[in-house]
Amino acid sequence: MDQQNPPSLSAPTVPITLLGQREPRIPTAGKIRAGIKVLTKKAASNPRVKALYDDGVVSNATFDEIERKIIEAFPGIENPLVPKNVAWFTVRPNDFPNPALADQILALYGEDRGDGIRRLYRFPVMFPADRWQAVMPHELACWSRNEKRYWSEYGSDGHTRFCKMHAPARIDERTRRVVRTFGGRGTQLRPENDGRCDPENCPEFQGRHCNLTGRFIFYIPGIKSLDAFELHTNSFYALSRAIERFETIAFLRGGRLAGFLDRRHTPFFLTKKLREVSHLDPKTGQPVRSAHWIIELEAPIDVSALLIEQDRDAAIQLAEDAVRTLQGEASRDLQVPALQVAPSATETFAPCAPTLDAPQAPTATGEGAPASTPAAGTEAIYALAATLGVSPERLDAYADWHWGVGWRRNAQGSARVLAELEDFRSDPQGLIDKIAAEIGE
Does residue 12 sit within a domain?
A: no
* Same domain flag for 235 and 118: yes
State which of 281, 298, 315 marks the end of a domain: 298
* Same domain flag for 224 and 97: yes
Does residue 418 sit within a domain?
A: yes
Full-model pTM: 0.62
Q: 185-203: per-residue pLDDT in tens?
A: 888 999 988 899 999 899 9
Confidence of residue 1 (pLDDT cuts 50, 70, 90): very low
Collapsed DSSP state (helix, strand, coil) of residue 153:
strand
* Same domain flag for 114 and 240: yes
Confidence of residue 106 (pLDDT cuts 50, 70, 90): very high
* Same domain flag for 432 and 342: yes
How many domains, in total, are found in the chain? 3
Looking at per-residue confidence, does 313 or 401 come out higher? 401
* Same domain flag for 244 and 114: yes
Does residue 13 sit within a domain?
A: no
Looking at per-residue confidence, does 298 or 437 come out higher? 298
Cα gap 351→355, rounded to integer Å: 9
Neighbours of 123 (CB within 10 A): 26
Does residue 2 sit within a domain?
A: no
Does residue 433 sit within a domain?
A: yes
What is 213-273 written as a DSSP string? Answer: EEEEEEB-TT---SSEEEEEE--HHHHHHHHHHHHHHHHHTTT--BS-SSTT-PPEEEEEE
Q: Is the pLDDT of residue 109 over 90?
A: yes
Q: Is the pLDDT of residue 16 over 60?
A: no
* Same domain flag for 63 and 116: yes
Which pLDDT does position 362 carry in this prediction?
Answer: 39
- Segment 422-440 mean pLDDT: 83
Does residue 380 sit within a domain?
A: yes
Looking at per-residue confidence, does 371 or 86 come out higher? 86
* Same domain flag for 333 and 431: yes
* Same domain flag for 251 and 313: no
* Same domain flag for 41 and 105: yes
* Same domain flag for 71 and 154: no
Which pLDDT does position 32 carry in this prediction?
Answer: 95
Neighbours of 415 (CB within 10 A): 26
Chain-centre distance for alpha carbon 115 = 32
- Segment 133-148 mean pLDDT: 88
* Same domain flag for 255 and 192: no
Q: 23-73: per-residue pLDDT in tens?
A: 567 888 899 999 889 999 888 988 999 999 999 988 888 888 899 899 988
- Segment 77-82 mean pLDDT: 87
Q: Is the pLDDT of residue 164 over 90?
A: yes
| CA atoms in the 13 A half-sphere facing the CB of 404 | 8
Sheet holding 268-280, edge to edge: 123-125, 268-280, 287-298
Does residue 239 sit within a domain?
A: yes
Does residue 149 sit within a domain?
A: yes
State which of 212, 228, 243 marks the end of a domain: 212
State which of 176, 195, 212 marks the end of a domain: 212
Q: 386-430: per-residue pLDDT in tens?
A: 989 999 888 888 888 777 777 777 777 788 888 888 888 888 888
Which pLDDT does position 309 carry in this prediction?
Answer: 64
Q: Which of 302, 29, 295 is nearest to 136 (CA)?
A: 295
Q: Is the pLDDT of residue 153 over 60?
A: yes
Domain containing 190: what range? 140-212
Sequence-separated contacts (24+) of 79-82 with Cβ below 8 Å: 79/40, 80/39, 80/40, 80/43, 80/49, 80/53, 81/37, 81/38, 81/39, 81/40, 81/43, 81/53, 82/37, 82/38, 82/39, 82/40
Neighbours of 138 (CB within 10 A): 19
Confidence of residue 243 (pLDDT cuts 50, 70, 90): very high
Which pLDDT does position 324 carry in this prediction?
Answer: 59
* Same domain flag for 391 and 317: yes
Confidence of residue 344 (pLDDT cuts 50, 70, 90): very low
